[in-house]
Amino acid sequence: MASAAGRKPEEDALLETAARVLPGGVLGGYTAPRDLSFVVREARGPRVVDVSGREYIDYLLGSGPLVLGHAHPAVVAAVERQLSKGTTYFQLSEPTVALAEEICRAVPCAEQVRFTASGSEATFFALRVARAFRRREKILKFEGGFHGTHDYSLMSVGPRAPKAFPAPTPDSAGIPHAIQEHVLIAPFNDLAETEAILAAHHGDLAAVIMEPFQRLIPPDLAFIKGVRAITARYDVPLIFDEIVTGFRFAYGGAQEYYGVVPDLAAIGKIVGGGFALAAVVGRAEIMRHLAPELEGSPEYVTQAGTLNGNPIAAAAGLATLAELRRPGVYPRLFETGNRVKRALQEAANAVGVPAHVAGEAPVFEIYFTDRPITDYRATLTADRAQHRVFTEELLRRGILKAAQKFYISLSHGEQEIRQTVEAFTAALRKVAEGRP
């Protein structure tokens, strides 16, 4: 069980050092309150162990890549095999070429692949290549959609006081004001408003970028099919950000799951097997702008990175994908996810806290509101303080989740599910006690 009381002096010392040498004492992602902070010693399957030896059932999973769980034997073996052959070449290698070929087999829109080292880079370069293809500069994204941490992405991801569409709100200090002129914002799941914005601005647009499953919000099928049809009509490339959904919702990602194929996609997380690898994938007609034969021409898109297509990451990715191709894997992932997701909603109902569990089986979250979660503005009606209490009370009981989602893995079994469901009820009681 996790609690500040159980923290050993060596872990306290590490946290003190971290507080001195890292801004805020963290790496930039989810931050637990001080009394619940910990330093990971190791992780295996669905469990993480901290330096004091306390164990956590893990629904954070490295922020998503570890759909097989931690240190999966097939991934470890593949990485060990590659390690002894060298760690990086900045050249083609067997695992890199094989992974690109497998991605093209799996992902419906993928005719070609350009590797990057992170998902943020993948969306950034997808936008750049779309600009080169379309010879326009503006992009349209959806309110509440997240595409990583570059300047174009951090627009209207989490505005507390949203503006009228299509005006953007920057989500970070340090973003040049000029970027706002290049980003339009539309409401997710609102086809009429999106169509009106596209009708007015398509002549200036290089691309529409969207998470097909936006954060925790499933799309109305008529909405994503409509966005696909309208962007095709106006010849504006449609980019799916499948960093979360790629190889998670189905082997072919959300584009297979929802049956809507974009022009380009950004994939990451699972495809790198827990290493630094992501990719821009898409139609060859657009991807050709990345090919060196165009170098020196105004059509050429410059993109390179020291670790792009790293062979260790590619080996880990290939091993992960091989496991995901086994029969029955996706039904099992969905069954586990549905059980935990349903149990969370039932626990909230039983305790009497108004709440909606939103998402799909492999990724979901609870919102403390009586409104169904169909778009970003609905999420603003949820009680953030209650959500913080819930996440912290789970952590106190040894359940680790992302700040705003549960990721499910194939390694979560009966014991983990039972422990998790017990913790749900206890944590939700704490939420209920704190209500006015």
Site residues (CB under 6 A) for ligand PLP? 63, 118-120, 123, 146-148, 211, 241, 243-244, 268, 278
Q: How far is CA 191 from CA 31, 213, 224, in A?
A: 36, 15, 8
Would you call 138 helix, strand, or coil by DSSP? Answer: strand
Q: Which is nearer to ligand PLP, 65 or 398 (CB)?
A: 65
Q: Which is nearer to ligand PLP, 119 or 144 (CB)?
A: 119
Query: What are the DSSP calls for 187-231, one per residue?
Result: -TT-HHHHHHHHHHHGGGEEEEEE-SSBTTBPPPHHHHHHHHHHH
Can you read off the two tokens belonging to residue 370? 């009586």
Q: Which is nearer to ligand PLP, 2 or 126 (CB)?
A: 126
Q: Which is nearer to ligand PLP, 119 or 398 (CB)?
A: 119
User: How many other C-beta atoms lie within 10 A of the C-beta of residue 359?
Assistant: 21
User: How many other C-beta atoms lie within 10 A of the C-beta of residue 244?
Assistant: 27
Q: Give dist(CA 16, CA 10) in Å, integer.
A: 10
Q: Which is nearer to ligand PLP, 59 or 424 (CB)?
A: 59
Q: How far is CA 241 from CA 39, 126, 255, 268, in A?
A: 31, 9, 10, 9
Give me the least distance between CB of 146 and ligand PLP, in Å please.
5
Give me the least distance between CB of 155 and ligand PLP, in Å please.
14
- Partners of 207 in the beta sheet? 139
Q: Which is nearer to ligand PLP, 190 or 211 (CB)?
A: 211
R_g (Cα) of the chain, nearest Å = 22
Give me the least distance between CB of 431 and ligand PLP, in Å please.
26
Q: Which is nearer to ligand PLP, 252 or 398 (CB)?
A: 252
Give me the least distance between CB of 273 and ligand PLP, in Å please.
13
First to last CA, the chain: 29
Give me the least distance between CB of 241 and ligand PLP, in Å please.
5
Give me the least distance between CB of 268 and ligand PLP, in Å please.
5
Q: Which is nearer to ligand PLP, 210 or 353 (CB)?
A: 210
Q: Give dist(CA 390, CA 234) in Å, integer.
A: 45
Whether the upstream peptide bond of residue 9 has omega within 30° of 0, thus cis, is no
Give me the least distance between CB of 55 and ligand PLP, in Å please.
25
The C-alpha torsion from 338 through 344 and 348 to 349, rounded to 10°, is 30
DSSP 107: S
Query: What are the DSSP calls for 301-334, one per residue?
Result: PP---TTTT-HHHHHHHHHHHHHHTSTTHHHHHH
Residue at shortest CB range from ligand PLP: 119
Can you read off the two tokens belonging to residue 420? 């998790």
Q: Give dist(CA 328, CA 341) in Å, integer.
A: 20
Q: Which is nearer to ligand PLP, 243 or 347 (CB)?
A: 243
Q: Which is nearer to ligand PLP, 148 or 274 (CB)?
A: 148
- Partners of 76 in the beta sheet? none
Give me the least distance between CB of 63 and ligand PLP, in Å please.
6
Single out the residue of 187, 262, 267, 255 nearest to residue 223, CA to CA.
Answer: 187
